[in-house]
Amino acid sequence: MNPNEIIERCRVKGIILQTEGEQLRFSAPVGALMPDLRQLLTENKKALVYLLQAHTTRSGPPTPELAPDLAQSKIPLSFAQQRLWFLDQLEPGKAVYNISQTRRLMGKLNISALESAYTRVIDRQAVLRTSFHAHEEVPQQVIASMCTVELHIVDYSALLETERQEKVRSTLEQNSQYIFDLVHGPLIRTMLLRLSPSEHLLNVILHHIITDALSNGIFWHDLAQYYRAIVTETSPDLPSLPIQYADYAVWERVRVEGREGDRQRSYWKAVLHDAPRTVDLPTDHSRPPLQSYQGNTEAMCLSETLTTRIKAFNQQHHVTVFMTLLSVFNVWLFLMGRQADLVVGVPITNRRHQDLASVMGFFVNTIVLRTRLQPKHTFMEILEHVRTVCLNAYAHQDFPFEQTVKMIQPQRDLSRHPLFQIMFQVLPKSEPSVQWPDIEVTPFREVWRTARLDLSVTLRETDQGLDGTLTYSTDLFEPS
């Protein structure tokens, strides 16, 4: 978890962070500061102080207020949505921006309650009722007042075990390639696979234009709350949503056009104007002229013992897990490609306003971290450089990636992603999930066959250490 995400998590829980010189002070509601969050504050104290002080010393007018604005007739797309809309116009009929998630449900499932819960989530989250129309060649969000989305149900319980497993695999793979129509919607598709009277798989496919990783978690949380409330005949424990994603899209444009947007634009222009567009790793195949988005994913993990040692090292040197692992990753890239000037994309949750904590939408932003290594550098020198690069980037994280691309104007190349080809991220521990009555819900591992970049590394902190995935383009690489 990076320092901005820690600050964001504190805001959601009502914890106020302040600085006093080089000290970090906080006030928290009773029960809000759990041991794991307290540990994060301790481990990341120096970085948090830096960011909080940078935020309070900025000049210029305040950020415009984020308030409901759905009454206007023409709702713009967010900058992130606009990029995906453009890509869909450029290459229609592709499923590369589908996000597929599956959960195993063990126990006595009330299918009627599940269908009702699903409908209520769609009613609650306006982005799930959103489609995208062009008016005079300008795309706009159109939010339906009501939207009925069918829960598709298939029954594989009569099949033999081996046949059932193959059917599940092929069905999930076929579902993941579903082609959404951005104009007519809906942009969510759900299927329930019955494997036995006490075992089901719930598969949910959403187009990335209406969701991101954190929003996916919100979907499952809301669904569990509504299901629990329906089955137990109680009220769901869900906060009201004073704003929706469309409000954010309107607010984002006002913010970017202001003085703070100009300040951040100047920073990224200075950092990236002469940056390399790729990291030249040795590949098994030549890069094709048109990216196919075909990929594969391999699992990896760092043991609990190694993770504990990394955290102790971090605390000693006032850095985060992300900074240390990114430094190691950059050294590996340097050794593999013999390239000293490296650019790596990093996703940022981009929900620094507390009213966005429970709202679904495509909020995630991407920052580009540029590091320059030299063979003579020690690892500690590299780590200090990476730390500085990260903190400066975090202080300018609000500028939309799409605007950065527009500003830098890289030469259009359909064989690769603009500005960077490699992504790296470290995710925090998952929040405790809502319990479903009489149902045990666990993630079901799917096989990913899509790669939007040359290489993507994702690590997540767990009680057992760090679990992760490495996703790579099969246009370029073969498994070792």
Give tens-digit pLDDT for 123-165.
Answer: 999 999 999 999 888 999 999 988 889 999 999 999 999 999 9
Residue 161 lies in a domain: yes
Domain boundary among 185, 213, 232: 232
Percent of the chain beyond pLDDT 90? Answer: 75
* Claim to verify: residue 138 and residue 176 sit in the same structural domain: yes
Q: Which residue has the higher pLDDT, 48 or 472?
A: 472
The Cα 410–Cα 206 span in angstroms is 30
Tokens matching residue 437: 């009555």
* pLDDT tens figures, 173-189: 999 999 999 999 999 99
Residue 132 lies in a domain: yes
The Cα 169–Cα 176 span in angstroms is 11
Query: Which range (43-47, 252-256, 289-293, 470-474) has the least confidence?
Result: 43-47
* Claim to verify: residue 40 and residue 112 sit in the same structural domain: no
Average pLDDT of 411-416? 88
Residue 31 lies in a domain: yes
Residue 199 lies in a domain: yes
Report the pLDDT value the prediction gives residue 191, as an integer from 0 to 100. Answer: 98
* pLDDT tens figures, 216-245: 999 999 999 999 999 999 999 999 999 999
* Claim to verify: residue 1 and residue 107 sit in the same structural domain: no
* pLDDT tens figures, 369-381: 999 999 899 999 9
Integer-rounded Cα radius of gyration of the chain: 23
Q: Is residue 108 classed exposed, middle or buried when 0-12, 13-18 and 19+ CB atoms within 10 A define those classes?
A: exposed
The Cα 81–Cα 72 span in angstroms is 19
* Claim to verify: residue 108 and residue 227 sit in the same structural domain: yes
CATH code, 81? 3.30.559.10
* Claim to verify: residue 37 and residue 178 sit in the same structural domain: no
CB 77 within 8 A of CB 137: no
CB 260 within 8 A of CB 57: no
* Claim to verify: residue 180 and residue 49 sit in the same structural domain: no
* Claim to verify: residue 50 and residue 81 sit in the same structural domain: no
Strands (E), 95-207: 98-107, 130-135, 138-143, 151-155, 188-196, 199-207
Residue ranges of alpha helices (H) inside 177-239 are 213-232
Average pLDDT of 329-341? 96
Tally of CB atoms within 10 A around 234: 10
Average pLDDT of 257-262? 89
- The backbone torsions φ and ψ at residue 7, rounded to the nearest 5 degrees and listed phi first, read -60, -45
* Claim to verify: residue 18 and residue 131 sit in the same structural domain: no
* Claim to verify: residue 89 and residue 200 sit in the same structural domain: yes
Residue 418 lies in a domain: no
* Residue 416: band (very low, low, confident or very high) from pLDDT cuts 50, 70, 90: very high
DSSP calls for 16-31: EEEEETTEEEEE--TT
Task: Show the domain range for 124.
Answer: 75-232
C-alpha torsion sign, points 318, 322, 323, 329: positive
Residue 466 lies in a domain: no
Residue 283 lies in a domain: no
* Claim to verify: residue 96 and residue 144 sit in the same structural domain: yes
Task: Give the count of domains, the chain.
Answer: 2
* Claim to verify: residue 162 and residue 210 sit in the same structural domain: yes
**Torsion over CA of 53, 57, 61 and 65, rounded to 10 degrees?**
10
Report the pLDDT value the prediction gives residue 61, as an integer from 0 to 100. Answer: 37
Residue 353 lies in a domain: no
Report the pLDDT value the prediction gives residue 429, as an integer from 0 to 100. Answer: 83
SS3 406: helix
The Cα 24–Cα 2 span in angstroms is 16
CATH code, 30? 1.10.10
Mean pLDDT of the chain: 90
71-74-77 Cα angle (round to 5): 110
Domain boundary among 201, 232, 263: 232
* Claim to verify: residue 23 and residue 148 sit in the same structural domain: no
The candidate with the shortest Cα–Cα distance to 7, out of 294, 291, 428, is 428
Domain boundary among 232, 264, 294: 232
* pLDDT tens figures, 64-107: 555 565 545 689 999 999 999 999 998 899 999 999 999 999 99
